[in-house]
């Protein structure tokens, strides 16, 4: 007798409730402004599986609506609550209280993901290679004397390539301090800096099914960089990705093992994405980690669908694996 759970019939799709006033800059708003639209497209694909999708914004009415509609599980696409990425970890908390199975990382995984410094610390402690890094709470913090320029600076608590421009890479301390002052004044949060790794860039996608599967690709850029090869905010949000980059399969069992170890170290679940640099010596460096990365079909140009399609896995199959894995986990 097969006791494994079947696909749930009624699935709630949660997405960020987006208002312009929630975000300090237009850039950050752009990363979330299409949340409702994208969730609706995902819902159409859920319907094609013969399932009933329910679309809920992550606003104050969410718990009441879930209680009323009683979905069998939740597809959690929420990236922020009231514009704050840290608060996205509250969504699994609500679902745990309501005893509703949900996709993606739990409270701990999402909280870790919203602090890049802690993410790097955990990766390093678990033997995952990362560039030399440091967090600066203000421009007067002393810079680690071991740092070698150029360095790249990132907002510690915001993803989506926000403020990643050509100026993100600094060649000297004067340039770096100018940028840190600007970022802290705008976003009121610490800045993570790390040594820039010259080399090829890989995207590592993981998807749980009967086991944790790893799918690696190399990002091949269609343009020559002005000086440093980075995917800027403009590349990601103002251009079609097909005009910027294409993917080529990349195979290395050692990288697969590192990715699985990183997945566990960061309390990820169901699916995740890592950005990895390979230097001239062939050394891997994990430069970014995303639990619950952008999720959607190929028409939304989401990496998960584009990359897995190269491996013969359709978006319908991604949804099926995700739902079955979530229900299996809930029934353990």
Hey, is 14 helix, strand or coil?
strand
User: CA–CA separation, 217 vs 251, rounded Å?
Assistant: 8
Domain final residue, candidates 177, 195, 213: 195
CATH number, residue 178: 3.30.1490.20
The structure's pTM equals 0.94
Q: Are residues 281 and 297 in the same domain?
A: yes
As to burial, measured by CB atoms within 10 angstroms (0-12 exposed, 13-18 middle, 19+ buried), residue 251 is: exposed
Domain C-terminal end among 103, 118, 142 = 103
CA dihedral 171, 274, 300, 10 (to 10 degrees): -150
Q: Are residues 185 and 210 in the same domain?
A: no
Give the model's pLDDT for residue 6.
81
* Total count of domains within the chain: 3
Spell out where 86-199 has E strands: 133-136, 151-155, 169-170, 191-195
Q: Are residues 67 and 23 in the same domain?
A: yes
Report whether 16 contacts 31 (CB < 8 A): no
Range in 9-18, 82-91, 139-148, 245-254 the model is least confident about: 139-148
Same-domain pairing of 42 and 140: no
pLDDT surpasses 80 at 286: yes
Within a domain: 40: yes
Q: What is the mean pLDDT of residues 204-230?
A: 89
Q: Are residues 162 and 239 in the same domain?
A: no
Which CATH number belongs to the domain containing residue 240 in this structure? 3.30.470.20
Q: Are residues 94 and 180 in the same domain?
A: no
**pLDDT tens figures, 154-206:** 999 999 999 999 899 999 999 999 999 999 999 999 999 999 999 999 999 99
Is pLDDT at 332 greater than 60 in this prediction?
A: no
Q: How confident is the model at residue 235 (pLDDT cuts 50, 70, 90)?
A: confident
Same domain, 90 and 149: no
Residue 305 domain boundaries = 200-330
Are residue 76 and residue 26 in the same domain, yes or no?
Answer: yes
Terminus-to-terminus CA distance in the chain, angstroms?
17
In a domain, 119, yes or no: no
**Same domain for 151 and 271:** no
Distance separating alpha carbons of residues 68 and 42, to the nearest angstrom:
22
What per-residue confidence (pLDDT) applies to 1? 38
Instruction: Please name which of 87, 193, 202 lies closest in space to residue 132, comparing C-alpha atoms.
Output: 193
Q: In the predicted model, what is the mean pLDDT of residues 198-225?
A: 92
* Neighbouring residues of 185: CB distance < 8 A, sequence distance ≥ 6: none
């Amino acid at each position: 007798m097969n006791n494994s759970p079947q696909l749930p019939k009624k699935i709630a799709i949660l997405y960020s409730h987006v208002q312009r006033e929630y975000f300090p800059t237009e850039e950050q708003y752009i990363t979330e402004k299409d949340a409702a639209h994208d969730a609706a497209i995902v819902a159409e694909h859920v319907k094609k599986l013969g399932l009933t999708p329910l679309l809920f914004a992550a606003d104050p009415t969410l718990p009441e609506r879930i209680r009323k509609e009683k979905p069998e599980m939740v597809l959690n696409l929420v990236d922020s609550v009231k514009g704050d990425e840290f608060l996205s970890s509250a969504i699994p908390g609500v679902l745990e209280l309501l005893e509703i199975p949900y996709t993606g990382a739990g409270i701990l995984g999402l909280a870790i993901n919203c602090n890049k410094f802690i993410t790097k610390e955990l990766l390093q402690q678990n033997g995952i290679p990362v560039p030399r890094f440091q967090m600066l709470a203000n421009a007067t913090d002393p810079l680690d004397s071991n740092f070698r320029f150029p360095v790249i600076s990132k907002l510690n608590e915001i993803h989506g390539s926000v403020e990643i421009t050509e100026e993100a890479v600094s060649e000297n301390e004067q340039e770096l301090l100018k940028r840190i002052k600007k970022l802290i004044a705008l976003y009121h949060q610490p800045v993570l800096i790390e040594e820039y790794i010259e080399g090829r860039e890989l995207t590592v996608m993981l998807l749980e099914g009967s086991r944790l599967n790893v799918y690696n690709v190399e990002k091949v850029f269609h343009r020559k960089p002005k000086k440093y090869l980075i995917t800027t905010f403009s590349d990601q949000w103002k251009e079609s990705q097909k005009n910027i980059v294409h993917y080529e399969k990349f195979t290395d069992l050692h990288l697969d093992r590192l990715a699985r170890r990183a997945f566990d170290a960061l309390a990820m679940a169901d699916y995740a994405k890592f950005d990895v640099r390979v230097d001239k010596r062939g050394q891997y460096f994990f430069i970014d980690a995303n639990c619950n990365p952008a999720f959607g079909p190929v028409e939304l140009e989401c990496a998960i669908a584009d990359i897995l399609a190269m491996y013969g896995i359709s978006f319908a199959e991604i949804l099926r694996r995700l739902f079955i894995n979530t229900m299996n986990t809930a029934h353990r």
